[in-house]
Amino acid sequence: TVLDAIAAAGGIRADGDGARVILTRADGEGTRSMEIDIEGISRGEAGSAPVLSDGDAIYVPQALAQVAVLGEVGRPGVYRVERGATLMDVLASAGGPTDRADLSQVKMYEGGEAGSGVSLEIADDSLVYTGDILDNPKVAAGNVIVVPAGTIKVHVAGRVVRPGSYVLRKGAGVLEAVVAAGGTSASADGSRAILTAQSDGEVRAMEVDIDSILAGKEKDLTLSDGDSLFVPEATAQVVVLGEVMRPGAYRLPQGARLLDAIGVAGGPSARASLEKVSIYSGGDSSLKSDVVLGSGRAVYEGDARENPYLGPDDVVVVGSRAISVSVAGGVARPGVYELAQGARILDAISAAGGVAASGKKVVTHARHDDGSAVSDIDLDAIGEDPMCEANAHLADGDVLYVPEARRSVAVLGAVARPGVYAVDDTPTLLEALAASGGPKQDADLSQVRVYTGVPGSFVDLSLTDREPVYLGDVEEDPAIEAGSVVVVPSSAIHVYVAGRVARPGMVELIEGATCLDAIAAAGGVTSQGDGSRIALARKGQEMSEIDIEAAIRGEAEYIVLLEGDALFVPEVIPGQVVVLGEVARPGAYRLPDGAKLLDAIGAAGGATDRAMLEEISIFSEGLDGKPRYVSIREGDSIGASRNPEVLPGDVIVVPRGTVKVNVIGSAARPGMYELPQGARVLDALSAAGGIGSLGDGSHVICSSAPGPVDVKALVADPSGAGNVLLSSGDVIYVPEAKRQIAVLGEVARPGVYMLAAEATLMDALAAAGGPQKHAALDGVRVYEGSDVEGGASLDIADEKLLYAGDVKANPKLSAGQIVVVPSGAIHVQVAGSVSRPGGFELGRGATIIEAVTAAGGIRADGDGAGVVVTRQGAGAHIVDVDEAMA
């Protein structure tokens, strides 16, 4: 059978594939081949062995014992392994797993049908194993093993303490990335972070609320390798108005409360009423909430709930404790008075100096809030009982009028001295205006209104539901009756100016005034203000931006303001300087005027150890423009004398002071190496561990050298021409030495082997598995092989014999030589009445008894006394084996 034939041939070698033995048979129908699983037959798993026929041919192929190892291992590649090798054996051959390897998810794929070894084409349907390395499964020829990474690399930028790239564990979330970057900065807007991830070749960006994740309101997101997280700067501002020391818009950190905003605005003024604080959420007047922070002189009292958090764009208005009340008519000092909240009618009359001699002891109270009026309030009566109901509380804008005992006219509005004045029997409009000091500059004299009174009575200031008897230009100068009320309207508008101006607050302007007039009235833009980005807020419209600097240059029109408009002058944003290259924190930085190169590098965290300070590039016209080069190193120190000024928009590039060189081929550790400036060929080879055991150091190729480099010569004399200076991108190739030696004859594994330099005869025999049992080690021969590129030629002849003798002499071998170990065995045929007649291989010097013993001895019917021995060339003779054995 096939098993007998393979046994007769010495059995299948260690590198033979017994599962794919090919049997070729020629018959009347032609030649056909079949594949036989000898290993399966031997185990009883594949049926019986085929019976052989005359002329059959048996071929035992070499086992495909190559396995590919990819991913997080020291040396990914294709490796030869022994039959029965396990997963750990293969990983050890590949240099072991790296620090980032995830050993719990190792995958093993079945490789394609590649006749020469391993096919790296893998797919999910070819997966044969996935799991922990501790399971240590056996690998098969052609398998592809993938060791995945157990970590991910993410990039964190923007408003964090330490922006940069961070290596995190697999499965890490957004919070771990933020914590690794030192957390968000005070100016960060954690509610609008942007997470950029790449999946299936597509880039996706999503908004992440880090604040909500921290508060447990939202679930953390799991990051993947290569994800980027950007934390933007908080742009929202809080506007603080009213009775504070410095009204304006302020940028506050997230989590700021109401008192924080009032404190930033300089605190409450002396007239502030902390019982009347209003918050307009997002600046929307319909979303108003009133807060009581304190009473009297107490700045704050109550629990923390009355000190609420503020949101972006909130508007805070701190009310006033004072009210303005107009007192007119027969009082000592008519005018407008500021009184404390809770003031009554008698308080206002007293502030105005009391009732004048011409005044009557009654008063009319006109309310501002609802337009109603109460007449003929007896001042004597409320003087006797100040707590009576008639002595009513006053509100902001109320008017008190004490009538005079004689004929008079009230003149109100935009006049120098509003009040009640005595007139003749037939006064005119101009005479009434003259009595009140004349109109103000902002008076609208084309719309003067006159309300009639009752002849002979006192002036009645109750104008509700009363139609004017005259509405027109003052130049008409109509006659008016005693007791009439003259109202001169104002053409002024009131505009609020906040931000970076000299005197922020409310300004009064004439109708038709422009934004320039308002800024001028507020003292102008300060040195910190940006006049090119003034914000205009107008009721019922969206906020717009005004460039007043362009308007002054005649490049834009002036905007005419309306009543109630608000202007905000923002802080100027300094220009940014971009610092790139070998600095601790590359990025864009705001620098003050006059900043210099070292200031910019310092803002970026300083130069790294690899920075080359002798050739710093400064691009002032963009990266496409021509740079200027600056050296700031003086000897071993940084020179302040070479420190030019940088301007907004400049881009500074600090180059790397190293070179990157690729060392490939038969070096001890081939790869890319980063070397200092001035490194040479020997430096690169030293970094790569020197010439490998199979490398040829006499013919090293360097891309920047004029020819092959002899490393041994350079070691003896480093100043040699071949030890050239290296530049980034240079490649050094160490070729493989021609060290192939063929070992034939009586050895375990005849073949061609790669040996180290200075290898000896015994080294070659050991590589071939050692001599066989019948090897004649006293007659080993060494032949000179032909000069064939890449290996040894098996063409041998007597004239090429270099050595013949005992192996103990152990001569040195050279590349391409052929070692022949002859056999010391003799071949004897034993026939007749023996147990196992046939041919036998015996050692040199064997006797007839040894030959008969190898054949199983003489059978019972055999004649041991008449054994015939036939020797080639010497005839035949009879030997008495029985006697010899006795």
Q: pLDDT digits over 206-230, tens only?
A: 899 888 888 888 898 888 888 999 9
User: In the chain, pLDDT over 70 holds for what percent of residues?
Assistant: 91
Sign of the Cα pseudo-torsion (115, 118, 121, 127, in order): positive
Q: Report, in angstroms and rounded to the nearest whole number, the Rg of the chain calculated over CA atoms.
A: 53
Q: How confident is the model at residue 164 (pLDDT cuts 50, 70, 90)?
A: very high
Q: pLDDT digits over 815-831, tens only?
A: 788 999 988 888 888 88
Among all chains, which residue has been given the structure tokens 């052929």? 818
Environment class of residue 738 by beta-carbon count within 10 Å: exposed (0-12), middle (13-18) or buried (19+)?
middle
Per-residue pLDDT, 504: 92
Q: b/e for 89-123, b at 16 or more Cβ within 10 A?
A: bbbebbeebeebbbeebbbbbbbeeeeeebbeebe
Q: pLDDT digits over 508-560, tens only?
A: 888 888 999 999 999 988 867 778 889 999 888 888 888 887 888 788 888 89
CATH (one of 3.40.50.2030, 3.10.560.10, 3.90.1640.10, 3.40.50.300) for 66-147 = 3.10.560.10
Rounded Cα gap, residues 106 and 149, in angstroms: 10
Tell me: pLDDT of 117 over 50: no
Closest listed residue to residue 575, CA positions, set 494, 512, 649: 649
Tell me: pLDDT of 792 over 50: no
Write out the two tokens for 619. 């691009």
β pairing state of 228-231 and 151-158: parallel
Per-residue pLDDT, 787: 47
Q: Does domain 238-320 have CATH number 3.40.50.2000?
A: no
Contact call for residues 532 and 570 (beta carbons, < 8 A) = no
Q: What angle do CA 374, 375, 379 make, to 5 degrees?
A: 105
Per-residue pLDDT, 401: 92
Tell me: pLDDT of 786 over 80: no
Which helix or strand (DSSP H or E) is residue 164 part of? Answer: strand 164-169
CB contact set of 488 (below 8 Å; sequence gap of 6+): 411, 412, 413, 414, 415, 433, 439, 443, 444, 445, 448, 474
Which helix or strand (DSSP H or E) is residue 137 part of? Answer: none
What is the CB-side half-sphere exposure of residue 304 using CA atoms within 13 A?
A: 4
Rounded Cα gap, residues 176 and 187, in angstroms: 20
- Cα 408 to Cα 452, 470, 482, 513, 775: the distances in Å are 12, 18, 5, 36, 149
- Per-residue pLDDT, averaged over 4-8, amounts to 88
Tell me: pLDDT of 304 over 50: no
**576-654: what CATH class?**
alpha beta
Where would I find the H helices in 160-305? 174-180, 210-214, 258-264
Among all chains, which residue has been given the structure tokens 């005034």? 513
Q: pLDDT digits over 409-428, tens only?
A: 888 888 888 888 877 767 88
Q: pLDDT digits over 626-679, tens only?
A: 888 888 876 555 655 678 888 887 888 988 888 889 999 889 999 999 888 778
Coil/strand/helix, residue 580: strand
Q: How confident is the model at residue 794 (pLDDT cuts 50, 70, 90)?
A: low
Rounded Cα gap, residues 133 and 88, in angstroms: 7
Starting from the edge strand earliest in sequence, which strands make up the sheet with 485-488, in order?
419-422, 408-413, 485-488, 448-451, 470-472
Contact call for residues 544 and 556 (beta carbons, < 8 A) = no
Query: What are the strands, taking DSSP E only, across 452-593?
Result: 470-472, 485-488, 492-499, 505-510, 534-537, 544-546, 566-569, 576-581, 587-590
Per-residue pLDDT, 345: 92
Rounded Cα gap, residues 56 and 69, in angstroms: 40
Residues pairing with 279 in the sheet: 289, 316
Per-residue pLDDT, 163: 93
Q: Which CATH number is 658-734 given? A: 3.10.560.10
Mean pLDDT of the chain: 83
Among all chains, which residue has been given the structure tokens 């150091």? 697
Where would I find the H helices in 24-171? 38-42, 87-93
The count of other CB atoms within 10 Å of the CB of residue 559 is 19
Q: pLDDT digits over 48-91, tens only?
A: 888 988 888 888 887 666 888 998 889 998 887 777 788 888 89
Q: How confident is the model at residue 464 (pLDDT cuts 50, 70, 90)?
A: low
Q: Does domain 492-569 have CATH number 3.40.50.300?
A: no
Q: How confident is the model at residue 702 (pLDDT cuts 50, 70, 90)?
A: very high
Write out the two tokens for 590. 């705001």
Q: How confident is the model at residue 689 (pLDDT cuts 50, 70, 90)?
A: very high
Among all chains, which residue has been given the structure tokens 């054995």? 885
Per-residue pLDDT, 425: 65
Give CA 357 to chain center in angstroms: 84
Q: Does domain 151-231 have CATH number 3.10.560.10?
A: yes
**740-821, CATH topology level:** Outer membrane lipoprotein wza fold like (3.10.560)
Q: pLDDT digits over 362-393, tens only?
A: 899 998 888 888 888 998 898 889 899 889 99
Rounded Cα gap, residues 709 and 728, in angstroms: 19
**322-405, CATH topology level:** Outer membrane lipoprotein wza fold like (3.10.560)
Q: pLDDT digits over 705-753, tens only?
A: 888 889 888 888 888 888 898 888 899 999 887 678 889 988 899 988 8
Contact call for residues 138 and 65 (beta carbons, < 8 A) = no
Rounded Cα gap, residues 561 and 565, in angstroms: 7
Separation of first and last alpha carbons in the chain: 39
Coil/strand/helix, residue 294: coil
Rounded Cα gap, residues 133 and 438, in angstroms: 101
Per-residue pLDDT, 215: 82
Q: pLDDT digits over 169-194, tens only?
A: 888 899 999 999 998 887 787 888 99
